[in-house]
Structure 1
Amino acid sequence: MKFPATLVNFGAFCKRNHQQLVAGLITFSLSLGLIGLRQIGSFKEAELWVYDSLMRSQLHEPTDRRIVIVEISEADIQRFRWPFSDRLFAKLINQISSAKPAAIGIDKYLDIPVLEGRDELVAAVKNAGNVINAQFVATVEGRKGVDAAPDLEKISKYGFVNFLTDKGAIVRRASVVGDSGSFAFEISNLYLQNLYHRQLEFNPNTIQFKAGKQIIPRLTANYGAYRKEDDGGYQMLIRYRGHPRSFEHIRAADVIDGLVAPERLRERIVLIGVTAESLKDSYPTPVTTDGEVMYGVEIHANIISQLIGATLDDRRFIQVWSNDLESIWIVVWAIVGGAMAALITHAVKNMGLLAIISGGLFGFSYFAFSQALWLPLFPSLLGLISANVLVMAYQLAIQQSERKVLMGLFSRHVSKELVDIIWANREQFMQEGRITGQEVYVTVLFTDMRNFSTAAEAQAPGETLNWLNNYLGAIANEVLAHGGMVDKYIGDAVMAVFGVPIPHGNETERTRDAQCAVDAALAIAHKLAAMNDVWTAQGLPPVSTGIGINSGIVIAGSLGSSERLEYSVLGDTVNIAARLESFNKEVDGGPHHILISEETYKRLDNNFQTEFVGKYALKGKTQETGIYRVLDIQKRTNQRSPTNFANK
């Protein structure tokens, strides 16, 4: 059965880009998880904490001089006793009214007569003509409300003073209108009508309230971080103007005693409320910290300031995007985090860029909040960082797997410095856990012991193995020290290659590989001479080693099955190097038994003492090969070291 070409092409595409596709799948799955968790309210408390932090960080507005609070403090209660009598309240209202304020709001229930002076209180409210009284609407079944007093209801307006609280009794939002207007709504309207002949408008078609040019954004059940919230009435987020006591406060006793100049109250909104700690009319808010609270009258002042500020100054209400747009915003940041990890595999660079982008996201969200736009910072930041970390973890797992393959292929055959170079350049030649075959120019070195049998006969079998390992180890160490790769051991023979696995494309690198190979050959010869002295002293026969070196093009890559892979090189260049090593038995290879091809000789740049042996047709070859013997190094200062090699 033949698959359609499109399926074959798609499969090939997936195979080529499987890491990117997995990174995309991780990011996509994470995005869905974040959106799902946010929809069920898992991030609500964290997002509201961020909201509070942003609110506290941006309290830079000047005091709203249109509002003044006449506070009933602890000192006033100590002096006049609580509750204030109706006569005392009448005197307070008369003193305020005489200063001609635009509106008077009384944040105290006056439904029950207190001591004497009820008639005086009614008269004071009537004479003022601009009083808004407080009432409490029962919102929980079984809880009793506080209705308007019948004698005051006929001569003044009422507004409910209920506060909406979140977990921890924090007041972040306000109900502007329910079945009737709120305390803040009624006072704001009275002030706007008396001084500016304006009011907060209601559009019955869109069911929206308007303050000046702005529509008051209505808080719904799923609004910003809120999920399945009770959205009864017309709710909005409170944009606090400042910390507690940011509005002007005047003591009630000073007003009663006539110590307050009328100019301090004229054409202003005067709120009468309790700031005595013992009366417990206080709440935590986004702008209070460390057990600090804000009194109810101050919260009303902030709501009033928000409504009249929007109408007269176009001060913005706090708004949010639609749920769909917020979800897209969160997904975009998750994609940014995942893509960044997929494209920047260097962990330190990735973490540095992640820190910069996270700072940018925070900075943008901070700026947006200063413009009264509340963005979903917490889930966006969580998506950015989580996607980046997860994709990076996946990349690291893949890298560890690839590094394991590379280490399995090279760790026993090349120096540690070259292993690090190979790993840094792995993408140049490694695909799917296998090094793809490629043509490279290399220098191949073969060594073979001449009298192994004679030496082995003089030793016990176990001693022979140790002795052979010492011999092979000495050769391998010199190859690695000069930047070569030990390709394989063939009994007592060694095949080494210079110029792999990172291809050396320019002539300078190829020349250096050839000279490193000859350097290594001489170092092997000198090392074995020293080892022969030791073996002779131990009663063992000395050994000699033939070395053949050739330079040219080979095919380099992984050989074997997926279970057992080896990296090696193949080609005629390898065969000639092996033949040169064997040719030491037929011609004089010099004092060190090192024969090199003419191709290698051309790259020595007169750095070595050599002699031309002649041109010969090596075994299995029809063409003649120019052969040279290496006598010694010409210039000791040019000898390369492993450190110099690693730094090239």
Structure 2
Amino acid sequence: MTQLPAIVMVQLAIVATSASVTGVLLGIRQVGWLQPLELASYDLMVRLRPDQEVDPRLLLVTITEADIKAQKRWPLSDLTIATALKNLQQQQPSVIGLDLYRDLPQEPGTAALVKQLQQSNVIAITKVPDADDIGVKPPPSVPNERVGFNDIASDPDGVIRRGLLFVDTDATTLYAFSLRLAIAHLKQQDITPQAGRDANHLRLGAAEFIPLEATTGAYQTVDAGGYQILLNYRARHKLARQVTLTQVLNGAIDPSWVKGKIVLIGTTARSAKDLFLTPYSAAEPQNPLMPGVVIHAQLVSQLLSAASNEISLFEYWADWVEMLWLGVWVLIGASLAWFVRHPLGLALAMLTTMTTLLATCYTLFLHQLWVPVALPVVGVLTVVMLVVSYRAQRAQRQQMMMMKLLGQNTSPEIATALWQSRDRLLKAGKLPGQRLTATMLFTDIRNFSVLSEQLPPEDLLEWLNEYLSAITEEVKANQGIINKFTGDGLLAVFGVPMNRRTPIEVSQDACLAVECALAMGDRLDQLNQDWQTRNQPLAQMRVGIFTGPIVAGSLGGKERLEYAVIGDSVNIASRLESYEKHRQTETCRILIAQETLVHLQNKFVVEPWGLLALKGKQQMVDVYRVLGRARASKD
């Protein structure tokens, strides 16, 4: 079977990971675990958006603590309420909504209040019966068509984000207080309730009110009973003009504030305990609660604005669109996490992505479209963490493979270069074979067998490790790689596994190899001096160096791999090291071939040995002995 290209494999992995994360998050979302985050993001967007202008169609008559103290009683007397209604009626309001329970007489003035409640533009309140059929009855003098319930639907966290318009009981369908006020006002403009495109939906003017379901928008576990819509708050504080009850009783208000307006009368006093949490509450530590009458006014304003096509109602995406929305952002996050490798680059890319995501959600919100915010944010963060974790684990495995193949006998520069190019070098857990031009360096200790007889095995091992440690340091210092140890010697390679393509690079490798051999000789002189003081055997070494083509890569099977260099160039370097072992007077004999000499750029002093027939080679090899560094190299 043909193996897929690496980039295709990466793309498939990204898609598979993104699909898995998307599926898991959709499942988590369905059980409601992300709902608190979504609602919190909704509240934040409500707070961030600018307030609408004061609604000129409304007037709020608030009953404050000062009003209660002035009347010296609570509940207020029927006479007080009747007087307020009478004074307001004289200013020709469109409709008056009384957000006060009046199911029981509060003498004095009950007769006067009954008279005022009989006015055709007065809306009274009731309460939806509970499971035990216990509710608050409306005033007996008010017909059902002028009665609305003032129940407020709260979310699981106690915040008011929904408006309740209808509730079905066994006997009838109850209208909300806010809806009654809006209908009464719109009727004067010849706008009456109609059936929408769906016969079960309410239409007022230009707006069709589509009821919320349990899974509408970011909701997943909300009680969507009755007929509810998302409450679109108009403003945090200045929703409409406000006056106090005392001002109304004293006739101290401008008639133009009342004429043709919807007037809502309700309490804002803390002692009345008609206060609720709203999306604004988190930013209002001093006064976090909103009075019920103001919430009703918010819903009335929303109904009027939607009916007149001033402010559209909130819309929501279908489930499949939200799934696609999540999937796209998760895919973006996975792609960034895979292809942006630098931590700072990934952090900047993530910052840009998150900023774009949040800005897009907020912009859509300003245009009355509520889309999931927390869901894609969690999706992006989750997939990025997964991909980064996988990459880290994969990198660790690759690093272990590289160290297993190449050992730890490389210079820091080579190790860094190898690791930065690991994706190109490593393939299916192996270093693929590649043809390179490199310089091989073989070393061996002269007469090691004789030396072995002079020391016990334990002392011999310690002596040999001391020697190998010293020459290994020189290989690493000169950017070589120790390919393998051969008992008392080693094979070092200069120019692998990074492909050295240019003549300058090949020349650098050859010079480093010869410099390394000279440095090995210097280190051996130091070791001999130390060994002499410790009455240990002295040593001489031979070095063979050859520059030429090789093939480098992994050699072996799944259970055992090693990094191997193969080719005739390796054999020639080995033969140079072992050639005529008796021809040595110096501590370190270094033989090179013409193929290495041409790259040395006269940096070293050499002695020609002529064309020699090396063991196992049919062709003659032009051999030179390295005597030392040229003077020019010291200047």
* TM superposition score category, shorter chain reference: over 0.9
Please list every run of 5 or more consecutive structure 1 residues that lacks an aligned counterpart in the other structure.
1-7, 640-648
Change (3 A) 1:281 1:306: same
Tell me if the contact between 1:73 and 1:276 (Cα under 8 Å) persists in the aligned partners: yes
Distance in 2, Cα, partners of 1:204 & 1:25: 41
Distance in 2, Cα, partners of 1:67 & 1:30: 49
Given the alignment, which residue of 186, 196, 199 partners 1:203?
A: 196
Tell me if the contact between 1:221 and 1:230 (Cα under 8 Å) persists in the aligned partners: yes
Given the alignment, which residue of 218, 230, 233 partners 1:237?
A: 230
Given the alignment, which residue of 84, 88, 99 partners 1:107?
A: 99
**What secondary structure does 1:152 align onto?**
coil
1:175 aligns with 164
1:73 aligns with 64
Tell me if the contact between 1:244 and 1:294 (Cα under 8 Å) persists in the aligned partners: no
Tell me if the contact between 1:449 and 1:544 (Cα under 8 Å) persists in the aligned partners: yes
Give runs of aligned pairs for residues 225-374 of structure 1, distance below 5 A.
Answer: 225-244=218-237, 246-289=239-282, 290=285, 292-374=288-370
Tell me if the contact between 1:212 and 1:312 (Cα under 8 Å) persists in the aligned partners: yes
Distance in 1, Cα, partners of 2:382 & 2:527: 59
Distance in 2, Cα, partners of 1:44 & 1:254: 44
Instruction: Report deviation, 1:13.
Output: 3.2
1:582 aligns with 578
Is 1:30 the equivalent of 2:26?
A: no
Change (3 A) 1:116 1:531: closer
Distance in 1, Cα, partners of 2:26 & 2:537: 79
2:390 aligns with 394
Is 1:459 the equivalent of 2:455?
A: yes
Distance in 1, Cα, partners of 2:280 & 2:440: 76
2:179 aligns with 185
Q: Which amino acid aligns with 2:215?
A: N
Q: Which amino acid aligns with 2:80?
A: L
Q: Deviations over 1:549-599 (max 9, x none)?
A: 100111111122322211120110001111111125365697842111111
Instruction: Report deviation, 1:389.
Output: 0.6
Q: Which amino acid aligns with 2:337?
A: A
Tell me if the contact between 1:607 and 1:638 (Cα under 8 Å) persists in the aligned partners: no
Give runs of aligned pairs for residues 409-428 of structure 1, distance below 5 A.
Answer: 409-428=405-424
2:131 aligns with 141
Is 1:90 the equivalent of 2:103?
A: no
2:170 aligns with none
Larger CA deviation: 475-484 vs 219-228: 219-228
Instruction: Report deviation, 1:386.
Output: 0.4
Distance in 1, Cα, partners of 2:243 & 2:454: 113
Distance in 1, Cα, partners of 2:534 & 2:221: 90
Tell me if the contact between 2:539 and 2:587 (Cα under 8 Å) persists in the aligned partners: no
Distance in 2, Cα, partners of 1:283 & 1:538: 91
Q: Which amino acid aligns with 1:171?
A: I
Distance in 2, Cα, partners of 1:508 & 1:392: 38
For normalisation by structure 1, the TM-score amounts to 0.91
Tell me if the contact between 2:155 and 2:222 (Cα under 8 Å) persists in the aligned partners: no
Is 1:219 the equivalent of 2:208?
A: no
Larger CA deviation: 439-448 vs 315-324: 315-324
Q: Which amino acid aligns with 1:158?
A: V
Larger CA deviation: 569-578 vs 108-117: 108-117
Distance in 2, Cα, partners of 1:461 & 1:190: 109
Q: Deviations over 1:500-557 (max 9, x none)?
A: 1112122211110000001101111122122222233444453221111100111111
**What secondary structure does 1:549 align onto?**
strand
1:151 aligns with 141
Report how many residues are paired. 626
Change (3 A) 1:446 1:59: same
Tell me if the contact between 1:212 and 1:314 (Cα under 8 Å) persists in the aligned partners: no
Distance in 1, Cα, partners of 2:137 & 2:602: 111
For normalisation by structure 2, the TM-score amounts to 0.93
Given the alignment, which residue of 489, 495, 515 partners 1:493?
A: 489
**What secondary structure does 1:435 align onto?**
coil
Distance in 2, Cα, partners of 1:638 & 1:360: 60
Change (3 A) 1:136 1:285: same
Distance in 1, Cα, partners of 2:294 & 2:44: 20
Instruction: Report deviation, 1:118.
Output: 3.1
Instruction: Report deviation, 1:322.
Output: 1.4
1:3 aligns with none
Instruction: Report deviation, 1:602.
Output: 0.5
Q: Which amino acid aligns with 2:202?
A: F
Q: Deviations over 1:383-402 (max 9, x none)?
A: 11101111221121111111
Larger CA deviation: 328-337 vs 476-485: 328-337
Please list every run of 5 or more consecutive structure 2 residues that lacks an aligned counterpart in the other structure.
168-172
1:132 aligns with 123
**What secondary structure does 2:308 align onto?**
helix
1:381 aligns with 377
2:41 aligns with 50
Q: Deviations over 1:393-423 (max 9, x none)?
A: 1121111111111112223321233222211
Distance in 2, Cα, partners of 1:535 & 1:590: 17
Tell me if the contact between 1:590 and 1:629 (Cα under 8 Å) persists in the aligned partners: no
1:615 aligns with 611
2:436 aligns with 440
Distance in 2, Cα, partners of 1:294 & 1:94: 28
Tell me if the contact between 2:436 and 2:499 (Cα under 8 Å) persists in the aligned partners: yes
Instruction: Report deviation, 1:150.
Output: 3.4
Instruction: Report deviation, 1:614.
Output: 1.0
Instruction: Report deviation, 1:618.
Output: 1.4
